Amino acid sequence: DVKVTQSSRYLVKRTGEKVFLECVQDMDHENMFWYRQDPGLGLRLIYFSYDVKMKEKGDIPEGYSVSREKKERFSLILESASTNQTSMYLCASSKQGDGNTIYFGEGSWLTVV
Amino acid sequence: SQQGEEDPQALSIQEGENATMNCSYKTSINNLQWYRQNSGRGLVHLILIRSNEREKHSGRLRVTLDTSKKSSSLLITASRAADTASYFCATDAGTGFQKLVFGTGTRLLVSP
């Protein structure tokens, strides 16, 4: 079974802190994604990566950056956390190619106080 | 930007009944997928339907796609309490790259 593991399930951070959310997948997938999920807004794509060291902005990249130094790992970075970044963050991965299933991690609940 | 919009936003039924959820989208697509999310958990893939398909079945799931109306429906037959979850449609928005755009979801409650 494909496994996408998010390092932290629940985090509480202070405004202005630098926050790292880590994600690892074990199926040699080329594509990796970071989404955030908020009530009434559904899932919104922050960043995605289709190869090591490659990244593309999604719909809401402002205030975030990402890093993909190894194929299996995709990190989301909040350079200076703000309260409006309190949310559920979901990492996902998939094989390259049209119509492939996207596999999600269990999510990281981030609260910024 | 939201590509898919699910309807209804919430649905409450009794065990044994059928549940139908609808999804509308805005741009041309290569495929459309449905995902399920249990409360507070990640999403799980249910079924994919390609743009040249009109209907697809998987167990108690039936998905239809009408590309002329830019809409899809997910039917869950003989619902069980364990089907209680949120259901999302997702499209590739015709990007040619596997970047899915999700709708806002339908919350399904199945009561015993």
Q: How far, CA to CA in Å, does B33 sit from each of A54, A63, A83, B36?
A: 25, 29, 32, 10
* Tokens at B26, concatenated: 């805005």
d(CA B103, CA B4): 4
Total residue length of chain A: 113
Q: What type of residue sits at position A98?
A: D
* Tokens at A78, concatenated: 């909040």
Q: What type of residue sits at position B79?
A: S
Contact check, Cβ <8 Å, A43/B31: no
B/e letters for A31-43, b = 16+ CB within 10 Å, e = fewer, are: bbbbbbbeeeebb
In this prediction, residue B27 carries a pLDDT of 86
Q: Among B32, B98, B100, which would you mutate to test the A interface (most chain A Cβ atoms within 10 Å of its Cβ)?
A: B98
Residues of chain A with pLDDT under 70: 1-2, 98
In this prediction, residue B7 carries a pLDDT of 85
Q: Is A24 on the interface with B (CB under 8 A)?
A: no
Q: What is the mean pLDDT of residues B18-38?
A: 92
Q: What is the mean pLDDT of residues B16-29?
A: 93
Nearest CA in chain A to B87: A42
In this prediction, residue A101 carries a pLDDT of 84
- Taking a C-beta distance cutoff of 8 angstroms, is the pair A57, A49 a contact? no
Closest Cα in chain A, distance from residue B50 (Å)? 8
Closest Cα in chain A, distance from residue B55 (Å)? 16
- Bigger pLDDT: B45 vs A96: B45
Q: Of all helices (H) and strands (E), which one includes residue A99?
A: none
d(CA A11, CA B78): 39
Residues B50-96: tens digit of each pLDDT = 999 999 999 999 999 999 999 999 999 999 999 999 999 998 866 65
Q: Is A93 on the interface with B (CB under 8 A)?
A: no
d(CA B83, CA B20): 12
pLDDT greater than 50 at residue B2? no
In this prediction, residue B1 carries a pLDDT of 39
Q: What is the 3-state secondary structure (H, E, C) of chain B?
A: CCCCEEECCEEEEECCCCEEEEEECCCCCCEEEEEEECCCCCEEEEEEEECCCCEEEECCEEEEEECCCCEEEEEECCCCHHHCEEEEEEECCCCCCCCCEECCCEEEEEEC
d(CA B69, CA B50): 15
Other Cβ atoms closer than 10 A to A81: 21
Contact check, Cβ <8 Å, B42/A33: no
Q: Which residue has the tokens 């429906």?
A: B73
Task: Calculate what percentage of chain B has a pLDDT beyond 70.
Answer: 91
* Tokens at B28, concatenated: 């041309």
Sign of CA dihedral A89, A12, A63, A23: negative
Contact check, Cβ <8 Å, B45/A102: yes
Q: Count contacts between A and B (CB, < 8 Å).
A: 64
